[in-house]
Amino acid sequence: MENYIGVLDSGVGGLSILSELTKALPKQNFLFFGDTLNMPYGTKTPKEIYNFTKNILDFFVSKGIKTAVFACNTTSAVAYNDLKKDYEGILKIFPLIQTCKHGFVEGLKDNDTVAVLATKATVNSKKYNEVINEINPKINVFGIDCTGFVEIVENRLYNDPDSIKLIKEKLDTVKNLKAKKVILGCTHYPYLIDIFKKYLNDVDYFNPAKYLSGVVKQEANTIEGCGDIVFYVSKDPEQFRLSAKTFFNIQTKINLI
């Protein structure tokens, strides 16, 4: 499978990244791995996240894959720096956060504020602060722990009163910060964008998926294939198929490993 690009995520959210990748590279072959056994990563320890991700990368290597995309903010934030060293010369890795760093600051100037909606693990890592301030240290970056948003999307609780209350609370924080840009720092969150805009519509929402796919198209060592997509999960393939409907229409077999 040397002509495949490996795409990994803790569950189904990364399918939003895969969707953009297939648009940018329609003839590229992909292998998607959803770690459904260990999801969600956002509440796990850094060591756990590192070990989960390393196991997936070892699987990619065993398949002959040379390029991997981290379609997961938490993995990019917490584990990428160590894994980059482990797989140097073996895998070319595109971590979501680091790959999109120039996109995060587009249109911003000194003293502007960016709000990052993300999982607890991503917020605690302060990786967004690091990559944004690396480019412009005068931009203010605030991470907002949005624990519960993933469950809203995966269970399609879009009209649930408690879900709406939680979303409004987080967006009120964004309003109070007077943020100019809001980064959707989890692959599930673009599916909440219509709800977000009902309560906060005068900010620039940034979805990293499109930016990431553009960089991969330009910089990956791609080998044109036939547009084949192979799916692997670590638990309950049929539940994955059902949950995935929000993100990606899977027509083929889902392999369990």
Q: What secondary structure does DSSP assign to the chain, as a single string?
A: -TTEEEEEESSSTTHHHHHHHHHH-TT-EEEEEE-TTT--GGGS-HHHHHHHHHHHHHHHHHTT--EEEE--HHHHHHTHHHHHHHTTTT-EEEEHHHHTHHHHHTT--TT-EEEEEE-HHHHHHTHHHHHHHHH-TTSEEEEEE-TTHHHHHHTT-TT-HHHHHHHHHHHHHHHHHT-SEEEEESTTGGGGHHHHHHH--SSEEE-HHHHHHHHHHHHS--------EEEEESS-HHHHHHHHTTT----S-EEE-
Specify whether 168 is located in the same domain as 240. Answer: no
Task: Give the residue from 98, 100, 85 showing the smallest Cα distance to 127.
Answer: 98
Tally of domains within the chain:
2
Are 61 and 24 contained in the same domain?
A: yes
Q: Residue 137 has what pLDDT?
A: 98
Same domain, 147 and 167: yes
- In total, the chain counts a number of residues equal to 257
C-alpha 9: how far from its chain's center? 7
State residue 11's pLDDT score: 87
- Quick one: pLDDT at residue 36? 94
72 given a catalytic annotation: yes
Per-residue pLDDT of the chain (257 residues; tens, 9 = 90+): 989 999 999 989 999 999 999 999 999 999 999 999 998 898 899 999 999 999 999 999 999 999 999 999 999 999 999 999 999 999 999 999 999 999 999 999 999 999 999 999 999 999 999 999 999 999 999 999 999 998 898 888 999 999 999 999 999 999 999 999 999 999 999 999 999 999 999 999 999 999 999 999 999 978 788 999 999 999 999 999 998 987 898 989 999 99
Q: How many CA atoms lie within 13 A of 217 on its CB side?
A: 16
Residues 52 and 67 in one domain: yes
What's the CATH code of the domain at 82? 3.40.50.1860
Output the pLDDT for position 109.
Answer: 97
| Annotated catalytic residue within 72, 100, 146, 226 | 72
pLDDT at 211: 96
CA dihedral (36, 240, 78, 47) in degrees, to 10, reads: 0
Whether 109 and 193 share a structural domain: yes
Contact by Cβ (8 Å): 12, 72: no
pLDDT of residue 155: 84
Indicate if 56 and 87 belong to the same structural domain. yes
What is the domain range of residue 165? 99-207
The pLDDT of residue 173: 98
Q: Which of 71, 66, 93 is nearest to 82 (CA)?
A: 93
